[in-house]
């Protein structure tokens, strides 16, 4: 796993945009996350689209997850969020699990099938929850799990409450499983802010455990973690990560 530490969230966004741009130019398949962590990367990609003509025409994109129990047109439904944050600005169509489906088990299987038919995800962007979730695989999720319904922890509901009226905060989601996420060719985790420092340290340097679902990243052969300084503050090998990145051979990309 490569760990890249930047001075600011904006610089972290530029590194993530550099990685995603390679897949965009190759006409590959992007896996997209919502939440606030990927915001600066999306802003940078929108800027490159507008100012540098970066075209998303040949690309496909899939979301990690979707709330269950809110209407599809709700402004906080992730298919709406990603359109506002990113995809409408670059002309990209994004598929996502349908949290309004009457049969969520069938919907989960169909979503897995659509990922398979697309040939899988080339680069999957990920955020991390303060409780260690990846996608919405909350603590206790099987490290081999597939797309399915999960129940949010109270901690995640509190973290996401800022987007909803108090009585509206969803309890359930459809999320790609950890086993599904691990099938993407390249995983890119982005985390910023001191509130993520503890969970980032647990995920990167703690034991691989369903208790910290993001620790499953340690099992994947190609992961890039992009952190700002506050999010990296509790890593024990921080000096080593900086040295590795600072002395990267010129032939080695991300």
# residues contacting ligand F6R (CB under 6 A): 14
If the CB atoms of residues 5 and 214 are measured against ligand F6R, the closer one turns out to be: 214
Identify the helix (H) or strand (E) that includes residue 194: none
The least distance separating ligand F6R from the CB of residue 52, rounded to whole angstroms, comes to 26
Which tokens belong to 55? 């075209």
Q: Which of 35, 40, 96, 213 is the binder for ligand F6R (CB under 6 A)?
A: 35
CA distance 103 to 100: 9
In this structure, the number of other CB atoms found within 10 A of the CB of residue 161 comes to 12
Q: Which of 37, 80, 87, 145 binds ligand F6R (CB under 6 A)?
A: 37
16, 19, 33, 200: which one binds ligand F6R (CB under 6 A) = 33
Asked whether position 40 contacts ligand F6R by CB under 6 A, the answer is no
Is 53 buried (19+), middle (13-18) or exposed (0-12) by CB count in 10 A?
exposed
Structure tokens at 77: 């439904």
Q: Of 207, 205, 208, whose CA–CA distance to 182 is shortest?
A: 208
Please tell me whether residue 64 binds ligand F6R under the rule CB under 6 A: yes
Q: Is 65 a catalytic residue?
A: yes
**Catalytic residues, which ones?**
65, 131, 133, 138
Interface residues toward ligand F6R, by CB under 6 A: 33-37, 64-65, 78, 127-129, 133, 135-136
């Amino acid at each position: 796993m490569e760990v890249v530490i930047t001075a600011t969230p904006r610089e972290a966004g530029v590194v993530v945009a550099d990685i995603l741009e390679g897949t965009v130019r190759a006409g590959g398949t992007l896996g997209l996350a919502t939440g606030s962590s990927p915001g600066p990367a999306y802003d940078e990609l929108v800027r490159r689209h507008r100012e540098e003509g970066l075209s998303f025409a040949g690309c496909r994109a899939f979301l990690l997850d979707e709330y269950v129990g809110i209407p599809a047109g709700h402004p906080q439904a992730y298919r709406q969020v990603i359109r506002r944050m990113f995809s409408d600005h670059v002309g990209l169509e994004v598929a996502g699990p349908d949290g309004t489906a009457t049969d969520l088990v069938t919907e989960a299987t169909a979503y897995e099938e659509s990922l398979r038919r697309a040939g899988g995800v080339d680069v999957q962007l990920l955020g991390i929850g303060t409780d260690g979730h990846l996608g919405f695989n909350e603590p206790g999720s099987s490290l081999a799990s597939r797309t399915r319904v999960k129940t949010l922890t109270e901690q995640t509901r509190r973290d996401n409450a800022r987007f909803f009226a108090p009585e509206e905060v969803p309890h359930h989601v459809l999320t790609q499983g950890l086993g599904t996420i691990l099938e993407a060719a390249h995983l890119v985790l982005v985390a910023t802010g001191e509130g993520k420092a503890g969970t980032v340290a647990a995920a990167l340097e703690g034991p691989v455990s369903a208790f910290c679902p993001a620790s499953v990243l340690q099992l994947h052969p190609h992961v890039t973690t992009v952190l700002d300084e506050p999010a990296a503050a509790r890593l024990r090998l921080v000096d080593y990560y900086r040295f590795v990145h600072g002395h990267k051979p010129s032939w080695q990309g991300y």
